[in-house]
Structures are given as structure tokens and as C-alpha cells.
A and B are shown apart, each in its own frame.
Chain A
């Protein structure tokens, strides 16, 4: 009996550890909004990259890969 209880508790812990949020594909409307992209404002992006380049001497490696609406 005790083992069954422990097994049930373990299952519950595993289920909870799967993640707090699971966004279904049809719920991604807000995530798909272009304003959610980190480089949505091209002018701001250009200024930021120039600033980082001149101040920190860093070049390239900007932008975000993937992301988007998670449609497929």
C-alpha cells in the first residue's frame, strides 16, 4: 500500500515538473504578434546595434533565430 502511494506521489511530481505553462498551438495568437519580436522596430534595432558595436566593439551575432508563431 505504501509503495502504491509513493508511486502515485512520484507520478504527480513528474507531471508537475513537466512545466508550468503549456501553450497550445491555437493559443499562440499573442505570441505571433509582430510586436513580440525582439527586433520589431527596425530603427531601434539599427541604433542598438550601432551602439553596441561602437561601445563594446561587438559586431554581428544580433537577432533571434526561430521564434515566431510556432505554427508548424
Chain B
């Protein structure tokens, strides 16, 4: 009986430790960060307070990211200037990013590529897949999360962004 109590206590303790990780990041404040864009200019997420922010974590080596990137680039145009995309890249080498972008159409005015080569920001956002994206409301609170990419995601993105622009 003593051993059973010990085992149960240990399991409950383990559950208490991992529960916050399972709770997710939706409806919490988006972690602040500052990263450089492609021209080396520092860009902070707080620069876009008052607008809906679509933050997308991607990499050049990720096949679903290759499908998602041009879709997202053309999708976000219709919401300029009320919404922006911050496409945070986690490639270790800048040359991979440049090579990837050279095969993509030109970036929309409200589509910003930011570089996080050391993956300092993505752990704070708790990405569970590549790509992972979050839609943040005008007050800086994460409202929606997307793990991975499917061909019909644009419909969901539109509904979610429009609900936040009302």
C-alpha cells in the first residue's frame, strides 16, 4: 500500500509539471521579440500593435512551408494595411533563405520576412510543427494557432482574421 501511494504521488507530481506545457499558448499575450528583416533592419512585434499579426514560423527545408509561403504571401495582400505577416525563418544559413526566396514571387507590402537563425524566439511560442503559425489580435493576444499546413487553410485564415478585424 505504501508503494502504491508513492507511485501515485510521483505520477501526480509529474502531471503537475507537464500540465502547463500542454495548456498551449492561445489566449495568452504574444511573447515580445525583435528580429532583423532581410535588409538587417530590426523589427519588433510591438511595432504592429493595433493591427492583426499573422506570425508564421518556417524553414527552407520544410516541404509544407514551400507550399504555404506563396499562398500566404498572396493571401495577406487583401488585408493590407490592417493585417501583416511576420514570416520568421529558422534556417541556420542565410544562403538557404535567399535561395528559397529567389524561387518565390515578390513579397507583398505587408509580408515581412524575419530571421531567427539561432531559433531564440520559436521556443517561446511553443511551435509543435513546421510550419506553425499564430494569429494575434490588435491587442497583442494570440487567438488562433495552426500547426502544419493544409491546402484548405486559407479559408480558415480568412475567417479568423476577419473575426479579429471587426
> Taking chain A's interface residues, is the majority helix, strand, or loop, or is none over half, making it mixed?
helix
Contact of B92 among A7, A24, A29, A69 (CB under 8 A): A29
Interface of chain A residues 1 through 27 with chain B (CB within 8 A): 3-4, 6-11, 14-15, 24-27
Q: Does A45 contact B (CB under 8 A)?
A: no
Q: Which of B60-76 contact A (CB under 8 A)?
A: 61-65
Are B6 and A7 interface neighbours, CB within 8 A?
yes
**Residues in chain B within 8 A of chain A (CB atoms):** 2, 5-7, 9-11, 13-14, 17, 57, 59, 61-65, 90-92, 119, 122-123, 127-132, 147-149
Tell whether, in the assembled complex, residue A72 and residue B10 are in contact, meaning their CB atoms are under 8 Å apart: no
A71, B17: Cα distance in complex, Å: 27
Output the least CB separation between A22 and chain B (Å). Answer: 12
Asked if A28 is an interface residue, CB under 8 A from chain B, the answer is yes
Residue of A6, A11, A26, A27 contacting most chain B CB atoms (<10 Å) = A26
Cross-chain contact A72 with B61 (CB below 8 angstroms) = no
Q: Are B122 and A26 closer than 8 Å at their CB atoms?
A: yes
A residues apposed to B, CB below 8 Å: 3-4, 6-11, 14-15, 24-29, 32-33, 68-72
With contacts A33-B61, A69-B63, A71-B148 taken as known, whether A26 is within 8 angstroms of B6 at the C-beta atoms is no
Instruction: Specify the chain A residue showing the minimal Cβ separation from B16.
Output: A11
Q: Once the chains are docked, how many angstroms separate the CA of A59 from the CA of B119?
A: 45
Given contacts A11-B10, A72-B64, A72-B148, 17 further A-B contacts (CB under 8 A): A3-B5, A3-B6, A4-B9, A7-B9, A7-B13, A8-B13, A11-B13, A24-B127, A25-B127, A25-B129, A25-B132, A26-B57, A26-B119, A29-B61, A70-B130, A71-B130, A72-B149
